[in-house]
Amino acid sequence: MSRSSLRKFRKAVKVARLADAPVAKALKALANMPEARAFRLTPEVLYRMLLESLPEQYAVFLFERAGYRVEMSLADLAYLAQHDPVLAELVVSAILYLDKE
């Protein structure tokens, strides 16, 4: 994803007020966002996002607990997170990362 695409995605996350929404609603909205479908989330990118949005020790713990090892779109991860509390924490952390600036 290019910088301008990331900037547009961040703006879409802010406009949708996902960081302020209840978790279930935010996950559902993100799972249906075209911008989230285009945002490919590698394990390295997710790990960096967690480190930037959470205390380091908890970020490492959460990443290891989730066992995230494959690349997928953030929309797909948000869909799966609707059924798994650990993945939900990952996605909420990603939303917080995208919302800050």
At 7 the pLDDT is 87
- List the one residue out of 22, 80, 10 whose CA is nearest residue 49: 10
| Residue 74 belongs to domain spanning | 3-99
Structure tokens at 52: 């930037």
At 77 the pLDDT is 97
Statement: residue 1 has pLDDT above 70: no
pLDDT in tens, 9-38: 899 999 999 999 999 999 999 999 999 999
How many separate domains does the chain show?
A: 1
Contact 78, 91 (CB under 8 A): yes
pLDDT in tens, 36-84: 999 999 999 999 999 999 999 999 999 999 999 999 999 999 999 999 9
